[in-house]
Amino acid sequence: MDILKARRIYMIGIKGAGMTALAEFLIRQGSNVVGSDTEEVFFTDAVLARLGISVLSPFRADQIDPTSEVCIYSTAYTRENNEEMRAFEATGKPMLSYPEALGMITANKMTLAVCGTHGKTTTSALLAEALRGAGVEPSAIVGSEIKSWGGGALAGSGPHLVIEADEYQDKLRFYTPFGIILTSIDWDHPDFFPTVASYEAVFQKFIERLPRHGFVVAWGDDARVRKIVQSFPGKKIFYGFLPENDIRIVSALPVDPESPEGLKGIRQHCSLSLESGETREIVLTLTGKHNALNAAAVASVFGHLKLSFESLEKTFSSFQGTKRRFEQLGRVNDALIYDDYAHHPEEIRATLTAFRELYPKRTLTVIFHPHTFTRTKALLEEFAEALGLADQVYLLDIYGSARETQGGGTSQDVVDRINRVWPGKAQYSPDRMQLVQQLQQTVTGQDLVVTMGAGDVWQIASALLS
């Protein structure tokens, strides 16, 4: 079947970031979408409400819309753990997983897939926004709310589709790319990829899905990335800080957020050396060297597609960012409150380093919500080391999501590892409201508080501000 021809679609697990973006895209293509999910509050609830999508909760077999032509389901759910899955299967109508449905769409477009362990959301959003600024009119499906869009999807009239391509459960095998951005490779999702080799293999197989006339843009500072990309016979473009890259970041300098330029939203100045040998000076609204890399990746795509660099510069200097990525939410007692999605040690390290560069005089407090028991256990030492960059760390209970209900790692394990090196720095905080009240009473204008993680830790930031 062609998912774009279905007029009535039922989506199980619709609150997931990717599922919400897919629902938005399908609505913009003319489909009627109804979904279901748990009663848990997600940051996507507001997006779904704005779209007018009915979300039924909790899951119940008797609430499935009998007029639905097809069911799209989150891969977090199976016939074994979800009664709606069993009920829809009994109707005999088609059922597609999220990556299967997205894969159908990629096959009909010139798909630009952004993959890698880190930076997928920001890079795919920045690329789609830049293409739109260049008049290309792309479609896009991105796993977050992009502030200037009010959602996570675009349905443009042009041939290009930008997707955030998640590697978990080898979703990549369903996609048909024309171009790939490979941002990074750091072992993750140990519940599905038991070894580093099994994790790297999924990206190798994805590169092999590219047509010879396609192209790959890859982070050239990492030997693992270079090794995986090297076998591709088509066009390869490497970006990064090292001199051997095709697109090289010569410098990336932070802007004081209290300066006149900083108050306008500018966060760093970068100098890019292009494939042509020309050097261009750009300004970014995004903070940190990791975001300078994301911008260089997008510049590499623009160079290959021979699009206007002037229009790209305008996007770089005006991009409003995405929800839950280095997002400033407000102030409490003049303390700055930020929220960020970082949930892997390397992401935490990059994000906290950027905060240190931007606010060197503030005391950095992190409220971290670990995501999955298996990741916490497998990367325990790495989490402790990365979180050690903060001055004070509070650990919430692990967010297992629909994937896990228990496992070998605990938040107390992370606390103990941190305090072994930095005594008293970390604290296990299972009582959220007690933590909120404590911080409301103690933070001052010298503090920077960051809620961090893939779960609902953002609700603590909201509670602080209320």
Segment 162-219, tens digit of pLDDT: 999 999 999 999 999 999 999 999 999 999 999 999 999 999 999 999 999 999 999 9
Of the candidates 364, 383, 363, 358, the one whose C-alpha atom is nearest the C-alpha of residue 373 is 383
Residue 360 lies in a domain: yes
Q: Which of 66, 97, 128 is the last residue of a domain?
A: 97
Q: Quote the mean pLDDT of the chain.
A: 95
Mean pLDDT within 269-287: 95
Per-residue model confidence as pLDDT tens digits over 397-453: 998 877 766 677 899 999 999 999 999 999 999 999 999 999 999 999 999 999 999
- Is there a single domain that holds both residue 195 and residue 82? no
Residue 103 lies in a domain: no
Q: What percent of the chain is predicted at pLDDT more than 70?
A: 99
Alpha-carbon dihedral sign for residues 68, 70, 76, 81: positive
Q: What is the pLDDT of residue 401?
A: 73
Q: What is the pLDDT of residue 17?
A: 93
Mean pLDDT within 43-51: 93
For residue 352, the number of C-alpha atoms closer than 13 Å in the C-beta half-sphere is 29
Per-residue model confidence as pLDDT tens digits over 373-382: 999 999 999 9
Q: What is the pLDDT of residue 1?
A: 77
Residue 79 lies in a domain: yes
Q: What is the pLDDT of residue 405?
A: 67
Output the CA–CA distances (angstroms, integers) from residue 264 to 45, 184, 317, 393, in the order listed.
Answer: 30, 31, 10, 30
Q: Which of 50, 65, 97 is the last residue of a domain?
A: 97
Range of the domain at 254: 109-318
- CA dist 412 and 307 (Å) reads 51
Q: What is the pLDDT of residue 295?
A: 98
- Is there a single domain that holds both residue 213 and residue 275? yes
Task: For residue 44, give the CATH number of its domain.
Answer: 3.40.50.720
- Is there a single domain that holds both residue 87 and residue 133? no
Mean pLDDT within 102-118: 97
Residue 352 lies in a domain: yes
Q: What is the pLDDT of residue 404?
A: 66
Q: What is the pLDDT of residue 455?
A: 85
pTM equals: 0.93
- Residue 129: partners with Cβ closer than 8 Å, 6 or more residues away: 146, 148, 315, 319
